[in-house]
Structure formats: C-alpha cells, structure tokens
Structure 1
Amino acid sequence: MLSVVVFVIAVLTILTTQWLWRRMHPRCENGVLPPGSMGLPLIGETLQLLIPSRSLDLHPFIKKRLSKFGPIFRTSLAGRPIVVSADPKVNHFILSQEGKLVELWYLDTFSKLFNQEGDSRTTAVGDIHKYIRSRTLNYLGVEALKEKLLPQLEEMACRTLDSWSNQESVEVKRAFGAMVFNFTAKVFLGYDSDKSSDDLSEKFNKILEGLMSLPLNIPRTAFHDCMKSKKKITGFIKSKLNEKRAGLRTSKEDFLDQAIDDMATEKFLGEDLIVQVMFGLLFASFESNSSTLTLALLKLSQHPSALEMLTSEHETILRNRKRVKSSPTWDEYKSMTFTLQVIHETLRLANVSPGLLRKALKDIQVNGYTIPAGWTILVAASAQQLNPSVFDDALEFNPSRWKDIDKAAIEQNFMPFGAGMRQCAGADYSKVLLSTFLHVLVTKYRWSVVKTGNIGRNPLLSFGDGVYIKIAKKE
C-alpha cells in the first residue's frame, strides 16, 4: 500500500513539474516567440507590474524588459500570456488590424468591470461599435461643441472655480473629476448632481482604487469594493432608463433619451447593453481628464515661463473680444495655440494607461517573431511617447517642442486617445474642456500648489496623496 502511495505521489510530482515547466517555457508551433520571461506559475510577473514607481518615467516593469529584450518581449500577467510591443511600426500594424487579426481586449479586472458575464458586445467591431461612436460624436463631437457645449463648459468652469476659491485648498483630481463627471452625466443621462442624493463621482473614485487589484470578488478586497460601486452606478443608470421609458418625453435631450428611441430600430439595443455603454462612457471621461488637468497644473506651477505664456495667450483673447464678459467662441478656441501645446505635452507625459490591449485572433508574424492566436498584445504607447529618440529630454515638460516637431513622428508615436477605428470619440471634447477650464483659471484667478503626494505609476498614473491647490480671484 505504501508503495502505491509513493508511486502516485511521484507521478503527480512529475506531471505537475511538467505542467509548470510548459507554463513557464511556452512553445510556438508556427515560429519563434518574442524573448522574455513568463514569471511564476499562475500569477506570472503580475507582482512586478504592481510595484509602484515614483517617477513619470516609463514604469520600471516595461523599461527594464525593453532594455533587456528589445522593443518586443513576452511576459505573463494574471495568468495570461502577453506580448508587449514598443515598436511604432509593429504597433501601427496591430492597431490597423482590428476585426481582422486582433480584437479589443481587457485584462480580467477590466473585463469584469466593463462587461457583463459572457457579454463582449461592447468590445466587438461592427454595428454596435459604429452606433456607440456615432452617437457619442452627436453629443460630444465638434458640431455639438460649436453649437451648444462650449458656453456651457465655460459656465461650469466659472461656477466650479468660484467654489474652489472659497475653500482653504482643493484636491484637484477628485474635485475636477467630480465636475467632469457631473457635466458628462448631464449630457448623457440628464443627471442633475444638485438634485441627486447619490454622489456618483465618488463611487467612480472607489472603482479607480480597486481597478489595478487582483480580480478577487470577495468581501474586504479592493476589487470587491470596486464591483459594489459599479453595481450602484449601473443600478442608478438603469433606474434612470426605466424612469425615462415610463414617462412622456417630448424631446431627445440627452444620449439616454436617444438610445431609448433607437431601441425601436436598432435591434441589438437592449436595456443591459445601454447601461453597459453609459457606464463605460462615463468612466472614460472621468479618469483621463481629471488626471490630465492635475498634471498640467502641477507642471505649470513648476515652469513659470510656460504659465506666463499661457496666461498671455488668454489675456490677448480677452483684449480682442468685443464684449469682455461674453463666452469663448469657436474661433477663439482654435486660436489657443500654446494652450493646445500645453495639453499635448501633458498628455504625452501623463500616459494615464501603460498602453492599449488587443487579443490575437490568428497567429501574427512581426519582426521575425510569432504572436500566437489567443495571446494578449499590449501596444505600449507610453514607451513611444517617452521615447528620447523622438522627444528630446523626454521627461522634461516643454510645450514649445510641439511647434516644430515632425508630423510623421507625432502620428507614429503620440496616441493619447488611442488609434485606428478605436480612437476615442471624445478627443475633441477633452481638449475643449481642458482649454476652456484653463482659460477661466488663468484670466480670473491666481493659484499655487500647496501640497503634492508621490507622483508615479502603479502602473496607472498616480498622484499619491493628491495634488492640492489654493486659488484666489484676481483683483
């Protein structure tokens, strides 16, 4: 009997060892895998990725491996094999193959957050994607900004900054994030934060806190709290949808109104899908814009000459305006040349996310390597935007660099709003939003940074304990 037990243990040990070896040393039947390491069984190299950095530089996880293995390497994160690419030509090719060789992909935490179980329709290319993009542009695109939103954005900025000036100090990212959320939610849902008992923006902050945690949905974990917050937000969106469907609507004032009407003609639209779409759009507008403005204010405070140039540009706009108290016009926005350079430089440095994720639908041959079907691909846009061969003194905040930079280099290496058919439909909205807020800030207020935490990456852009500013109205 003892011999049988020993034999069984020996066989299990051999089989387990072989399984672990294959997991840590994968083979490719149709070519050569990119160089790299798969790390430990099951968790791969996830722990190294989650170690926070204290710099705006490329996250050490990616930087070290690019130095060791070159612009394309393989790794394993949360049990999934991944190829990371910082090669501009390869990345341009990958992003151009959506729906052919690759599809949009999320790691498990993101997938569970943005999709219902087994439902990946919002990430697919086709009628749903075209519908979401088209309708988003209707409400946040250039025409909507010109005709309706620009004066509303200025009014919101004036009201927000007036409120900030009455406070001892303001934590920028949280406060600006709440402002952006409330405005975008009004455009999409008809949400009125002044009349609502639910602080939905704070629930999005809870989601962000658990976003880069392991997807363990058990009590007292960050991810569990993240999913609880998501449930509350989606519950609110669904109740708003049902409320609108039950009432008499005489106009299509917001995106949700339009989506309800579209249910009659777009057969793929159902309540659950509409709720998913609204949640994803609100999240996208909330995080990236608040991080970008926070970093912009911090960098401007550290570079007085850039702040002086920015202020001069906006004061010139006021001097040339026939009615000083009138709202900014579209022509005035288009004349904010240096402002746009400040925004582009901040977006370049911010790199809110390490990159763009895709999943290989077929074996893909690039640079002599094979990316096997089923593997995840991380297009490391962050590495391209901090590439010293493209951007001199890449970690230096220098808005003026955008005056003379080669357009081809920008197209290949600068993609803060994504690229290809997945390029963010809210790109113009974000730039107008940030420009308008800066316009009001530098012409009507004085401000200074009074406290800042440890800024770095975890691997998302992080501001530690926050960036606090104190502002006061100009005399």
Structure 2
Amino acid sequence: MSADPGFNRYIVQQEGKSVEMWYLDTFSKLFAQDGEARTTAAGLVHKYLRNLTLSHFGSESLRMSIEFVAKQLFGYVSDKSKEKIGEKFGNISQGLFSLPLNIPGTTYHSCLKSQREVMDMMRTALKERLAAPESYRGDFLDHALKDLSTEKFLSEEFILQIMFGLLFASSESTSMTLTLVLKFLSENPHVLKEIEAEHEKIIMNRESPDSPLTWAEVKSMTFTLQVINESLRLGNVSLGVLRRTLKDIEINGYTIPAGWTVMLVTSACQYNSDIYKDPLTFNPWRWKEMQPDVIAKNFMPFGGGTRQCAGAEFAKVLMTIFLHNLVTNYRWERIKGGEIVRTPILGFQNSLHVKLTKKN
C-alpha cells in the first residue's frame, strides 16, 4: 500500500510497462464477459475504448449537448421506461464489497440480480437497433455497432459490458459527490454565499435570464469547480486504485516483487498537511493558489496516467450544471443525517435529509 504521491504518480504512468490494471475478484466478475473479465483491457482495445468514450463524454462533445449518461449511451429515457436504472445501480454498488456469496437473501445475490436486469435492458436496446438500423441516433451504442464490422475484438456482449462499466462509473461517483457538496454547502454558509454570487452574476450578464446555459458560462464557473474539487478531496468516493506488478520494482531500497498487488491510497494523499493547509477543513479557496504540477501529483480522484477516467470532464460538467440549477432556483436546509463513513467505500451513516424550497 502506498500513500506516497511521487510513487503513486510513477505507478499510474507505468501502465503496460511494469504494472497492469487489477481488481478484486467480486468486481471483475461483475464486469466479466463469458466468464472473462475485460476490465484490464490494454493496447489497441484500451485505446479504442478510451477514444470512443471521449468522443461521447469528453469535453468536445459537451460543447454541443449535456445529456444524462444512459441517454448518451443507448437512448434511455427514464419517463418512458418501466425499469428505474438508478435503483438498479444502487443495489449493485452495495454489493461490490460484500461477501461474494451468491444465494438468495444476500447483498451479493441482489447485486448480481440487478446487474443482469440492467444488462437485459441494454441488450433489448441493442437488439432493437440491429433490427432497425435506419433509426440511427448517433449515440454511443450506434457508434459501437457501426464499428462491429471493422474492430475484430468487438462483439455484441462486449459492447454491453462497455456500456455497463460506463454507467457504473458515472452513477455512483457523481451522485455521491453531489451529496457531499450539498452537505458541505449546508455546513458552510460563507461558501454557499460565494457560489450563489457566481451563478447570479452569470444570469445577470445574459440578455435574457431565461436563456439556456452556454458552454462559455460553464467554463466561467471557476469557484464552482473549486467547490467540486474540494468535495472530491475530502470525500473521494474511491479509497484508491489497484495495480499488479509485471516485474520487480525497486523503490527506496525495497523491492516489490513481480505479481504483487499494489494499492495506491490516493485518498490519503489528499489529506497531506504538507500540501493542504488544515486538511480537514472544507476550503474551496485553497484551489485558487495551487499550481497545476502540485495538483497533478497530489490530487487523483479520477485516477491517473492512461487509465484516468475518460468521463472525468463529463462528470465535472454534469455536477456544475446541477449546482447551477440548484443554487439559482432553490434554497435548502439540512434536516438530519449526513455523517460520513467508509464501509469500506464512502457513504453516509444516515442518509442526508435536506428540505428544498423553490426561490421566488
């Protein structure tokens, strides 16, 4: 286990050289295709997946349209679907670190059941697209199906696994981070006042207050991004990342043998008092003065290296837009709950209960 920022950054940059991606067995089985986990895809496969993901969820695609992840992937519209995909992923998240006992009544059994239901939902959408190719929508699913004939490693089941993985990565981390933002803003009125001022200024500068949000406005929300970064720093959803050594690694006079698992505890680095003054204090203003190279070494909420989450920019923009609509249209107060715990992933001892009221 490593909480050394320099070593952690070195390891994430060694993907495919001295280390490879590694996951717990319960996690890998959840994302397995025909019994084979594809979560560690490398080389041409990984390059294809990253480029395809960025084309639909990277910063360039966000300039034209901001849609929910499921709609971007396969046209899912919650109002028209009997299945509530959010509830399914709630069950899946609960089972990730549970005892992998697949019998009725266990958390893991419920997790696998929800996973199958989500896969069936997406499989139905895939079959409908194949049966009616003229109904091209240009989303992630259409793009992947178009590449079936040119990319030999692609299959229908692999495409479903890719979409499932992207849905999982976006659903849990984004919703949890937004809950943390709500908690921190309710506990820090001076921060809330500053973020409200930023968004009210944006509306005041428009020709019409009812104009839709623009890309330029999103990019101008610097303090909002600082609030998001500070929430990620204090409440990183993931404890860290896992890698397996492909060869012996020498570090500070020690040898990490080939085949060993290395856990980079990136969340611990984000509490380093040498980098973050008063690290337990929620202080979004600290990001204003931090240098990019310092941030790169000591702040990795989305991983790092070639394996950094391709949807990182999408997640930040999605949270920014959510906060814009929240602070400009609503007031809220915390009623109860919201105590942070790790069991072992980030969560709340009691659900955060807030009271929302519409602004006049």
Measured against the shorter chain, the TM-score band is: over 0.9
Q: How many residues align?
A: 360
Report deviation, 1:200: 1.7
Quote the residue 1:86 is aligned against: 3
Per-residue deviation, 1:216: 2.0
SS at match of 1:148: coil
Q: Tell me which residue corresponds to 2:46.
A: 129
CA drift of 1:307 comes to: 0.3
Whether the 8 Å CA contact 1:295–1:350 is kept in 2: the answer is: yes
**TM-score with structure 1 setting the length:** 0.74
Matched with 1:101 is 18
Q: Which amino acid aligns with 1:110?
A: F
> 1:117 offset after TM fit, Å?
5.4
Structure 1 residue 104, shift from structure 2 partner: 0.7
In 2, Cα distance between equivalents of 1:215 and 1:362: 30
Q: Secondary structure at the match of 1:85?
A: coil
Equivalent of residue 242 in structure 1, options 124, 127, 130:
127
CA displacement at 1:325 relative to structure 2: 0.5
Q: CA deviation at 1:279?
A: 0.4
Alpha-carbon offset, residue 236 of structure 1: 1.5
Instruction: Please give the alpha-carbon distance, in whole angstroms, between the structure 2 residues aligned to 1:254 and 1:284.
Output: 18
| 1:312 shift after superposition | 0.5
Question: Deviations for 1:445-471, whole angstroms, at most 9, x for unmatched residues?
Answer: 111111214321112111123112111
**1:10 aligned partner:** none
Where does residue 301 of structure 2 map in the other structure?
416
SS in 2 for 1:98: coil
Distance 2:22 2:102 in 1: 20
What does the per-residue CA deviation read over 1:58-111, in whole Å, with 9 as the maximum and x for residues that have no partner? xxxxxxxxxxxxxxxxxxxxxxxxxx1111111111111101111111011111
1:448 maps to 2:326: no
User: In the alignment, is the contact (CA less than 8 A) between 2:129 and 2:135 conserved in 1?
Assistant: no
2:241·2:265 contact (CA, 8 Å) conserved in 1? yes
Partner residue of 1:267? 152
TM-aligned CA distance change 1:90 to 1:117, over 3 Å: farther
Q: Deviations over 1:97-155 (max 9, x none)?
A: 10111111101111111223542334221122111111111111112111222xx5xxx
Distance 1:415 1:454 in 2: 24
| Structure 2 residues without counterparts, runs of 5 or longer | none
Residue 148 (1) aligns with residue 68 (2):
no
Q: Take 1:288 and 1:456, find their aligned partners in 2: how far apart are those partners?
A: 15
Largest Rg, 1 or 2: 1
Structure 1 Cα separation of the partners of residues 88 and 4 of structure 2: 37
Contact 2:337 2:351 in 1 (8 A): yes
Aligned to 1:120: 37
SS at match of 2:279: coil
Q: Contact 2:240–2:263 (CA<8 Å) still a contact in 1?
A: yes
Q: Tell whether the 8 Å contact from 1:339 to 1:435 is kept in structure 2 after alignment.
A: yes
* 8 Å Cα contact 2:249-2:255 kept in structure 1: yes
CA distances 1:359-404 after superposition (whole Å, capped 9, x unpaired): 1111221121121222111111011111111111111100001111
Q: CA RMSD in A?
A: 1.3
Q: Conserved in 1, the CA contact under 8 Å of 2:234 and 2:270?
A: yes
Residue matched to 2:258: 373
Q: Percent identity?
A: 54
Decide whether the 8 Å contact of 1:417 with 1:427 is kept in 2.
Answer: yes
- The CA distance in 2 between the partners of 1:271 and 1:403, in whole Å, is 46
Quote the residue 1:343 is aligned against: 228
Q: Which residue of 1 aligns with 2:167?
A: 282
Deviations 1:29-83 (A, max 9, x none): xxxxxxxxxxxxxxxxxxxxxxxxxxxxxxxxxxxxxxxxxxxxxxxxxxxxxxx
**Secondary structure of residue in 1 paired with 2:334:** strand
Aligned counterpart, 1:227: 112
